[in-house]
Structure 1
Amino acid sequence: MRIRAYGKINLYLQVLDKFPRGKRGYHRLQTIYQTIGLYDEIILSQSEGPEIEISCDHPLVPQGPKNLVYKAVSLLRKYAGVKRGINIEIVKKIPVGAGLGGGSSDAAATLQGLNRLWKLNYTRNTLLPISAQLGCDVPFFLYGHTVLGEGYGEVITPLPGIKNKWVLLVKPDFVLSTKWVYEHLGKIRLTEPINIIKIKTRHSQYGRKRGSSLPGSSLLTIGKIRKILKDGVEKLLYNRLEEVTIAYYPIISQIKKELLEGGADCALMSGSGPTVFALLKDQRLGKKLQQRMEKYKFSTWLVKTV
């Protein structure tokens, strides 16, 4: 069985206060996910023994118990009372440590694939709490398309879809740990470098006020989100984590500046970074910007929303 595990961008990402002690210690989020046409492939095949065998063509992806796909199999087997083994091959196309959700998408695709392969017939609502144990992005990938994620990511609300929008992904030549980014959140304050990367639409009117502290950050209502999406997704874009990444890696700011000067409607870092995405009016502009960014030796992908 071969499954596509699509990547994502975050159109909006607000980080709120931490969960109380005893509730995992993670930050509460409000984020709007969007799947994109860049994907890994997950190949599942039955095993005669009880072992979970993971293989991957990327050197940075662990192939044992530390792999999120391995953990997904273990949790599903425990929940379902299944003891059979499985061979899983991961063909990586989504860059690792890029803020595009590759590992989380692989885990979600594995849950969905095994649900069919093992004929468990679980509903998505049954798989949701299992996926939430794997990370805040995994529940979203059980849904895909355009989705609001809240809480630790396990509270999911589908939104009006943003289909067939051209997206250019630009990744500088380094990876970022999500853990590192969150550890540094709150250690810096919003400073002038953010002003270098003017978004053509002032997203701050919809998100937190400039300079507001993390615990006081505000939430968007479903009604306001739907209104903004109706007016144009460009008005929604915001990522709280940009403050951290740009403070330590100002190249992110320069990528955004290049994309906007080149004609992109808007540009934003996805997730914990370092990938920056630009929303585009057509493929022609995408190819033009792709050439512009590749001269700086950045990795680029021109894809559509799905």
Structure 2
Amino acid sequence: MDLMQLRAMAKINLGLDVVRKREDGYHEVRMIMQTIRMFDRVTVYRIPEPEIRISSNLHFLPVNENNIAYKAARMMLESQPVRGGVSISLQKRIPVAAGMAGGSADAAAVLYAMNRIFYMGYTLEELMDFGLRLGADVPYCLMRGTALAEGIGEELTRLPACPPCYVVIAKPAISVSTRFVYENLRLDETTRHPDIYGLADAICRQDLYGMLPYMGNVLESVTIPAYPIIGEIKERFMENGALISLMSGSGPTVFALFDNYEMALRAKEALLEWGQVPLVYVTDLYRVREETPVNYW
């Protein structure tokens, strides 16, 4: 096997809480991660030259050691004595810097592909350990599906597949710095924390409507005052029949859940007609079932 084409899938956070700031400067989180059917197409093939080549359909994306996919490839090549190198093509569809783990998903795909192409023999758990050295979201992007994430995001517990529903994704034309969000997050007695364990319990009961009271994103307390467009998008979604609308990760992407496909389509059209959000997509959840291999790509 000298070539693999993979779907590097995006994620949303059905719930995101920050428990505390640790002494090492990292924030301890508690969140529910969910894969959605939006993906980058990652092609990895073996080349005889001992080098790493990256190309992308986005001209502004770095194609050198500043790209996390490049770092993933280098890590794998350095982990075992192998002959040759790799050429990686990234066809980006996941919005960049959007709180949807697009870069982490690409890195996860590279780790998975190189393990197969070079017959390295690593288990999924070992690949997840490699991924953690690249970023806190990479191990989850290898696992995929529905998961409770704790610690800095690396302590993962697989949950049953989330109840089916439709997801509308809206990405405003702004950028939000994750560092800015966490540096300005204030955790005190007035902070409203979403009940992540309650959300996990509702997912285990397969109760879509029972999930709603427990969902939330504590980081919105920073981003909405700083970037009011995020709050406005949430309001537009709710006015158009969403069950709930939240920011994903540290933003700026906002998603909404719907139990009706036609209503989801109407909400998409309403946001596009509003003219303040250039990127709006309708998709659904990627549900890992028992009969589906965890490493299905």
TM over 0.5: yes
Q: In the alignment, what sits opposite 2:190?
A: 211
Aligned CA distance change for structure 1 residues 132 and 47 (closer, same or farther; 3 Å): same
The AA in structure 1 aligned to 2:264 is G
Out of 36-45 and 155-164, give the one that drifted further: 155-164
How high is the sequence identity, in percent, across the aligned residues?
Answer: 37
Aligned residues: 277
Q: In the alignment, what sits opposite 1:301?
A: 281
SS at match of 1:108: helix
Q: In the alignment, what sits opposite 2:8?
A: 5
Q: In the alignment, what sits opposite 2:230?
A: 252
Give the alignment's TM-score, normalised by structure 1.
Answer: 0.85
Residue 7 of structure 1 contacts residue 105 of structure 1 at CA under 8 Å; is this kept in 2? Answer: yes
Give the Cα–Cα distance (whole angstroms) in 2 for the partners of residues 121 and 233 of structure 1.
39
Residue 199 of structure 2 contacts residue 211 of structure 2 at CA under 8 Å; is this kept in 1? Answer: no
The AA in structure 1 aligned to 2:246 is L
SS at match of 1:302: strand
SS at match of 1:136: coil
| Cα drift, residue 212 of structure 1 | 3.4
Structure 2 unaligned blocks of 5 or more: 287-297
Give the Cα–Cα distance (whole angstroms) in 1 for the partners of residues 107 and 259 of structure 2.
32
Q: In the alignment, what sits opposite 1:285?
A: 263
Give the Cα–Cα distance (whole angstroms) in 1 for the partners of residues 29 and 82 of structure 2.
33
Q: In the alignment, what sits opposite 2:219?
A: 241
Q: In the alignment, what sits opposite 1:37?
A: 37
| Cα drift, residue 172 of structure 1 | 0.9
| Cα drift, residue 218 of structure 1 | 8.8
Structure 1 unaligned blocks of 5 or more: 190-208
| Cα drift, residue 72 of structure 1 | 0.8
Q: In the alignment, what sits opposite 1:228?
A: 202
| Cα drift, residue 286 of structure 1 | 0.8
Give the Cα–Cα distance (whole angstroms) in 1 for the partners of residues 220 and 83 of structure 2.
43
Aligned CA distance change for structure 1 residues 31 and 80 (closer, same or farther; 3 Å): farther
The AA in structure 2 aligned to 1:291 is E
Q: In the alignment, what sits opposite 1:113?
A: 113
Give the Cα–Cα distance (whole angstroms) in 2 for the partners of residues 84 and 107 of structure 1.
19
SS at match of 1:212: coil
The AA in structure 2 aligned to 1:302 is V
| Cα drift, residue 179 of structure 1 | 2.3
The AA in structure 2 aligned to 1:277 is F
The AA in structure 1 aligned to 2:16 is L
Give the Cα–Cα distance (whole angstroms) in 2 for the partners of residues 280 and 218 of structure 1.
20
Residue 5 of structure 1 contacts residue 106 of structure 1 at CA under 8 Å; is this kept in 2? Answer: yes
Structure 1 segments of 4+ aligned residues over 4 angstroms from their partners:
217-221
| Cα drift, residue 220 of structure 1 | 4.6
| Cα drift, residue 13 of structure 1 | 0.8
Give the alignment's TM-score, normalised by structure 2.
Answer: 0.88
SS at match of 2:134: coil
| Cα drift, residue 175 of structure 1 | 2.1
Residue 8 of structure 2 contacts residue 39 of structure 2 at CA under 8 Å; is this kept in 1? Answer: yes
Q: Tell me the alpha carbon deviations over residues 119-164 of structure 1, each in whole angstroms, 9 at most, x when there is no partner.
A: 1121111111111111111110111110111112211100111254
Aligned CA distance change for structure 1 residues 37 and 163 (closer, same or farther; 3 Å): farther
Give the Cα–Cα distance (whole angstroms) in 2 for the partners of residues 14 and 111 of structure 1.
28
Q: Tell me the alpha carbon deviations over residues 32-78 of structure 1, each in whole angstroms, 9 at most, x when there is no partner.
A: 11000110010111111111111111133211001000111122222
SS at match of 1:82: coil
SS at match of 1:132: helix
Give the Cα–Cα distance (whole angstroms) in 2 for the partners of residues 211 and 27 of structure 1.
18
Give the alignment of 1:91-170 within 5 angstroms: 91-162=91-162, 164-170=164-170
Give the Cα–Cα distance (whole angstroms) in 2 for the partners of residues 236 and 228 of structure 1.
9
